[in-house]
Amino acid sequence: MKILQKIALALVIIGAINWGMVGLFKMDLVASLFDGSDSIISRVIYTVIAIAGLINIGLLIEPIHEDR
């Protein structure tokens, strides 16, 4: 896996944890840390995580290599 894809995967995992917190506890950690979901920095973080998700679409179509 390429370095960029590993970084993107880590960002997607962070985003998934944030969405889990929104679903379970009604708490948006990004919005809480950066002065609301409408602040510029929050919107940049949401955008970066969305781009990371797009980068990782390649994982769906990449053949799975099993090492045995």
Report domain extents, the chain.
Answer: 3-61
Residue 34 — very low, low, confident or very high, per pLDDT cuts 50/70/90? very high
Q: Find out whether 37 and 28 touch, Cβ atoms under 8 Å.
A: yes
Q: What is the pLDDT of residue 66?
A: 64
Task: Tell me the pLDDT of the chain averaged across its residues.
Answer: 90
Task: Report how far residue 35's alpha carbon sits from residue 55's, in angstroms, rounded to the nearest whole number.
Answer: 28
- pTM for the whole structure: 0.81
Q: What is the pLDDT of residue 1?
A: 66
Percent of the chain with pLDDT over 70: 91
Tokens 């781009």 sit on residue: 51
Q: What is the pLDDT of residue 62?
A: 77
The predicted model gives 40-57 an average pLDDT of 95
Task: Report how far residue 42's alpha carbon sits from residue 55's, in angstroms, rounded to the nearest whole number.
Answer: 20
